Amino acid sequence: MTVCTFLERLDRVLIERTASRVPNRAGRVLSAVEAAAENSKLWWGTAVALAAAGGRRGRVAAGAGLSALALAQFVSNGLCKHLADRPRPPKELIPHERVHDRPDSPSFPSGHTAAAVAFTAAVTATWPAVGALCAIPAATVALERVQSGAHYPSDVAGGAVIGLACAWLTRRTPSLLLRHRFPRVSAGGAAWERLPE
């Protein structure tokens, strides 16, 4: 058995077990959180609340979160889905009716998960306590995408990796640009050896 075949079988087993073992009441809660996150409404609402009530730290966290989210959506939905073109999980694996309410777009990666993880990771870097709170709905969204039959577990894992990478890139880009533009900036970035004339 090849590694790819093993992973495909593991994906199918995990999605089937997840979809069948989550109770209906818990499934409705997962669906409600996912609906709030649809089109990034949950994350935009969180960003607005942070910017309005969190002072400068909240505005920085909101800006970082939305920047990472936008990049993650572009990478996952605009690039990776079209490159991978993976079909959604077979409906016969999912023992409930929610499997019929899913998009027709390619399955890999999970754009919902990429956006949720990107926003959460970027906010966490600026404001860890708020990031920890954001992690709860982000994890809920990731679980719902598997439980509902919209994605394989590997789609969600791929989305999470993309989200983390986009959050890291969003956080690092300003300092990388400064180092490229002003290479004599000190390692800590706080002192200039020589300003350009």
pLDDT (tens digit, 9 = 90+) per residue, 60-107? Answer: 999 999 999 999 999 999 999 999 989 988 887 776 666 656 778 899
Position 175 confidence tier, pLDDT thresholds 50, 70, 90: low
- Give helix then strand counts, H and E, for the chain: 8, 0
Residue 105, pLDDT score: 87
Return the minimum-mean-pLDDT range out of 7-21, 54-68, 72-86, 108-122: 7-21
| Percent of the chain residues past pLDDT 70, beyond the cut | 83
Residue 99, pLDDT score: 61
Residue 115, pLDDT score: 97
Residue 2, pLDDT score: 79
Looking at the predicted structure, is the pLDDT value of residue 131 above 70?
A: yes
**Domains of the chain from N-terminus onward:** 3-180 (1.20.144.10)
Assess contact for 119 and 65: CB atoms under 8 A. yes
What is the rounded end-to-end Cα distance, in angstroms, of the chain?
64
Residues whose CB falls within 8 Å of the CB of residue 131, separated by 6 or more in sequence, listed in order = 61, 120, 121, 123, 124, 125
Position 165 confidence tier, pLDDT thresholds 50, 70, 90: very high
Position 4 confidence tier, pLDDT thresholds 50, 70, 90: confident
Residue 134, pLDDT score: 96
In this prediction the pTM is 0.82
Position of tokens 């490229």? 180
Residues whose CB falls within 8 Å of the CB of residue 153, separated by 6 or more in sequence, listed in order = 11, 14, 15, 18, 146
Return the minimum-mean-pLDDT range out of 40-49, 163-172, 175-184: 175-184
The better pLDDT of the pair 73, 8 is held by 73
196: helix, coil or strand?
A: coil
Residues whose CB falls within 8 Å of the CB of residue 183, separated by 6 or more in sequence, listed in order = none
Looking at the predicted structure, is the pLDDT value of residue 170 above 50?
A: yes
Distance CA 162, CA 4 (A): 21
Distance CA 65, CA 69 (A): 6
Looking at the predicted structure, is the pLDDT value of residue 191 above 50?
A: no
Looking at the predicted structure, is the pLDDT value of residue 190 above 50?
A: no
Assess contact for 137 and 33: CB atoms under 8 A. yes
